[in-house]
Amino acid sequence: MDLPLMSTKLVEYAFLFTFYLKFQIGRPVLFSLAADGEAGVRKVLQMLRDEFELTMALTGCRSLKEISRDHVITDWDRPRIAPKL
């Protein structure tokens, strides 16, 4: 039995929303969906992609494979002391 088109779209949006919640970007996606529908979601995802690419460029990473644990700082990391010059 095929679902109506509207139900299929809602299932897709629900899947995307739960996927993005895992990465803590669900709120902007949900708000953009409410404000501007699919076009809003596309815009916010493009903004996040652009921001990620800029961050990669600023850290000197040209691909995802070049990102290492040294590029990620969490609350559990010890404070890093800058070397004396």
Specify the pLDDT at position 50: 92
Whole-model pTM over 0.95: no
Q: For 2-56, how does the pLDDT look when each residue is reduced to its tens digit (9 = 90+)?
A: 545 556 666 676 666 666 666 667 778 778 888 988 888 889 889 988 998 998 8
Tokens representing residue 48 in the block: 């996040």
Tokens representing residue 5 in the block: 């088109």
Residues in the chain, overall count: 85
Q: Report CA-CA distances (Å) from 21 to 11, 24, 60.
A: 15, 5, 28
CA–CA dist 56, 58 (Å, integer): 5
Q: Which of 38-47, 53-62, 75-84 has the lowest mean pLDDT?
A: 75-84
